[in-house]
Amino acid sequence: MGNTQIHQRPIGRRITPQRAQFRRLAESADIGTVTRAQLAVLAQSLTCTGLINGTESHLLVALINTVPADSFDRSGRLIVFKSNQQLAFEIGRSVGRVSRMLSSLFDAGLITMQDSGNYKRYPIRNGDGEITDGCGIDLRILIVRYAELDELVRQARSQKKAADAALRRYRGALRNARYALAAAARLSEDSLSRLGARIERVSNIVGIAGKASSRVLRRATALLEWLIERMMQLPRRSAEAQKTQNMTCPYVENGMHKQITTPHPFDDSSEERRSAYAEQLSSPKAGSASKWAFEESLRRRRSEINQPRRLRHAMVALQDVLRAVPALKTYGFAPTTWADLARAVPLMCRFAGISEDARARAVEQMGEQQAAVAVAVTLEKYDRQEVNSPGGYLRAMTDRARAGELHLARSVFGLAARNSMEIRH
């Protein structure tokens, strides 16, 4: 029988590259620049960042308070020599729990360990009784990372304040919208039904308001405030400019769009919105508009073919889109790149009530970038109350793109020119 080699299970503290880096970082601490009180306050505040939990924060505060205040002077040693058993007694937890929490604090870069051969913690003193070195829990890394951790706390508090403000405003806007719906007696029953469905659709999109992001809450608030203005029949802020809309950009206007409507403006792709024409009412006029609605006036302006043909296929810049579609800012979108605009398309579609099927067909036919521009133009016209069926409008644009008759750049330039004239007035 041969000799059996027994591999003993390795014991001791686990060493990782990150822990080794924390140890090196702790050696560069400039002791004397941060007081014990500052570190104690920081340790109590770190829970708001999610870096540690409340029990770990309690343990960290106990470690900081163990070090004498004069040790934070230039010649001090920020090493704790208490055993896990003593620390467990002080914070009211088990020894095993304290051991696991110390490992978590080490991994988070809030403490480091200087271990002895038998893992005992003790100080090394000189002839005068002063501590010159020791093996224990080293807190110097807190001094090195104080500015970084303090900034994390400040950011977390700032984000919390912004989130609370957005939550309060959203809840107020939702309550006001429901009150306005009950008080809007001058509107028809069909209009009230559609507006009520949109309000509830926004509420369903947000879901539990306390768990929604600030970005979603701000966009939902903007949409609810717009719905309130519509129910109260308030004039648009740029109402004076409506008188000049025919002369500013006649070729992007179409009165037939105002005849398009749907009783399901915020429904997802469902039985009522499955086909390209199901989003319209059954009237022949609405059906015709569904197929060739977008820029129908261009058909009546064939005599203007002498305009430069390059305008039809011109590529618009993102800044042109932002100038043409102020509704992006109204609904809380602030794209700085084409990728940002493309990522915002699904949420824009949900706000406008465009089905997933209509969006997918637009992307398939036009490409992601052009489809994003088309959705943005649709959102702007929907915000101006010039389009009652955004889904049908986008499908009509997709049909015209398939037929090679979509003049998307011209629409963008026309909207930008109209907005510029409205600003001047």
The one-letter code for the residue type at 121 is R
- Angle ∠(357,359,361) on CA atoms, nearest 5: 70
Whole-number Å distance between alpha carbons of 28 and 138: 13
Amino acid (one-letter) located at 60:
L
Angle between helix 189-206 and 146-183 (nearest 10): 160
Nearest-angstrom CA–CA distance, 293 and 315: 22
Q: How many CB atoms lie within 10 A of CB 195?
A: 20
* Residue whose entry in the numeric block shows the structure tokens 């870069």: 109
Instruction: Return the structure tokens found at 398.
Output: 């997709």
Structural tokens at position 199: 């309000």
354 burial via Cβ count (<10 Å: 0-12, 13-18, 19+):
buried
| Residue 113 amino acid letter | M
| Interatomic CA distance for residues 313 and 209, integer angstroms | 44
What SS3 state is found at 410? helix
Which of helix, strand or coil describes residue 416? helix
Break the chain into its structural domains and give their ranges: 17-149, 161-231, 318-423
How does strand 112-114 pair with strand 79-80?
A: unpaired
- pTM, to two decimals: 0.51
The CATH number of domain 17-149, selected from 1.10.10, 1.10.3810, 3.30.750, 1.10.150 = 1.10.10
pLDDT of the chain, 425 residues: tens digit per residue? 455 555 454 445 677 888 889 989 988 888 888 888 999 999 999 999 999 999 999 999 999 999 888 788 776 778 888 888 999 999 999 999 999 999 999 999 999 988 776 667 767 666 666 666 678 888 989 999 999 999 999 999 998 898 899 899 999 989 988 888 888 777 788 888 888 888 888 888 888 888 888 888 888 888 888 888 878 777 665 544 444 443 333 333 333 333 333 444 334 444 433 333 333 333 333 333 433 333 344 344 433 434 333 334 456 888 889 888 888 887 778 788 888 888 888 888 888 888 888 899 999 888 888 999 999 999 888 888 788 888 889 999 999 888 888 888 888 888 888 877 776 65
- Please name the residue ranges forming H helices in 9-78: 17-26, 36-45, 54-66
